[in-house]
């Protein structure tokens, strides 16, 4: 999409989209909106939450820089769970490794020298994706550290009726793919589907969700108020343009890299071809010289076996020279 098209689309947006990471963070990290965040997390995690404490409510100053700063929400649930929630709109083709890195960063600072590992809090990373990424038949993937299936030759009957499949319950990752959710088109019976319909901006479904969930109605009102604020709209527009510039830059760099790679490959191919041709020419020249020597030796009455030993030509080749 060209720059003018992006600008036009952004300017014409009436209600700011919650799939924009800036808008998402502004709505769900406000102190007065923690009840909405709590309800959203209950829908995703399927647990009862008494308390949510957002650890990074501020918007980073470098939000619009060329590196496109992260606008995640770090939170603590019920004083016992550490959590990071991300709104991701572009596929950077590194989600698996990236998720593991984020999980590790949340876990490693928890223990100080001398503390025991049993004191580690459960750590969860949640990704809400505006694209499909995994080859799975669900829009909500939940990942843990699990044991592989037992191999038959390594099986020992220890009497366990049910084996514990988890290595640890302290690490958990959630991936919600919005395009799959839209394709499934569920109702509004669950909290998760109620919130996801609000995230994707489906008007009819949002009205249905509002009737059964007061928190949806509250979040929608917050979003409408934010959408009418000129400063908030300006920040949203600048964030979208920064994103466009960032990802267009990546695409351009990849394109230039591919072009340079083709040109380099062509030059390398020409160089290799030239060197190979010279080598073959030298080898053909040496072979021709060997054949001339073989002819002279034949005239002088040398035996074929002896000529082969001297010239390193095969006896069949020498036979042809008779």
Please report, rounded to a whole number, the percentage of residues in the chain having pLDDT higher than 70: 81
Average pLDDT, the chain: 83
> What are the CA-CA distances from residue 280 to residues 99, 272, 287, 318, 321 (Å)?
53, 12, 10, 21, 22
Of 213 and 310, the one with more pLDDT: 213
Of 10 and 96, the one with more pLDDT: 96
Query: Is residue 21's pLDDT more than 70?
Result: yes
- pLDDT tens digit string along 56-79? 988 877 776 655 678 899 999 998
pLDDT of residue 249: 56
- pLDDT tens digit string along 105-128? 999 888 775 667 777 899 999 999
Query: Is residue 6's pLDDT more than 60?
Result: no
pLDDT of residue 8: 56
Pairing label, strands 73-77, 52-54? antiparallel
17 sits in which H/E element: none
Query: Is residue 261's pLDDT more than 80?
Result: no
- pLDDT tens digit string along 268-286? 656 655 665 565 566 666 6
If you average pLDDT over residues 174-180, what whole number do you get? 97
pLDDT of residue 316: 84
CA dihedral 129, 131, 135, 141 (to 10 degrees): 20
pLDDT of residue 88: 92
> What are the CA-CA distances from residue 11 to residues 24, 65, 142 (Å)?
18, 21, 36
Please report, rounded to a whole number, the percentage of residues in the chain having pLDDT higher than 90: 46
Measured at the alpha carbon of residue 108, what is the angle toward residues 102 and 110, in degrees to the nearest 5? 115
Q: How confident is the model at residue 33 (pLDDT cuts 50, 70, 90)?
A: low
DSSP letters of 179-212?
HHHHHH---S-SHHHHHHHHHHT-HHHHHHHHHH
């Amino acid at each position: 999409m060209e720059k003018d098209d992006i600008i036009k689309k952004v300017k014409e947006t009436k209600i700011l989209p919650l799939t924009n990471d800036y808008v998402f963070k502004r709505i769900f990290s406000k102190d007065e909106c923690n009840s909405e965040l709590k309800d959203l997390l209950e829908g995703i995690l399927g647990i009862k939450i008494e308390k949510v404490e957002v650890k990074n409510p501020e918007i980073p100053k470098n939000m619009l820089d060329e590196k496109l700063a992260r606008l995640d929400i770090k939170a603590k649930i019920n004083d016992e769970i550490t959590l990071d929630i991300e709104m991701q709109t572009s596929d950077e083709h590194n989600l698996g490794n990236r998720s593991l890195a984020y999980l590790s960063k949340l876990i490693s600072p928890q223990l100080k020298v001398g503390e025991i590992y049993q004191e580690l809090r459960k750590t969860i990373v949640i990704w809400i994706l505006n694209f499909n990424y995994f080859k799975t038949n669900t829009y909500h993937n939940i990942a843990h550290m699990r044991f592989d299936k037992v191999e038959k030759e390594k099986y020992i009957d220890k009497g366990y009726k049910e084996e514990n499949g988890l290595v640890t319950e302290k690490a958990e990752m959630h991936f919600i793919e919005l395009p799959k959710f839209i394709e499934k088109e569920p109702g509004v019976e669950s909290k998760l589907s109620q919130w996801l319909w609000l995230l994707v901006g489906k008007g009819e479904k949002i009205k249905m969700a509002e009737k059964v969930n007061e928190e949806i109605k509250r979040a929608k009102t917050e979003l409408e108020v934010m959408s009418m604020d000129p400063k908030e709209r300006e920040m949203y527009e600048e964030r979208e343009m920064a994103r466009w510039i960032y990802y267009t830059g990546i695409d351009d760099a990849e394109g230039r890299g591919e072009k340079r790679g083709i040109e380099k490959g062509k030059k390398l191919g020409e160089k290799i071809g030239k060197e190979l041709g010279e080598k073959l020419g030298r080898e053909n020249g040496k072979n021709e010289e060997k054949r001339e020597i073989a002819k002279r030796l034949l005239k002088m009455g040398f035996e074929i076996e002896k000529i082969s030993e001297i010239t390193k030509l095969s006896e069949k080749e020498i036979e042809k020279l008779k």
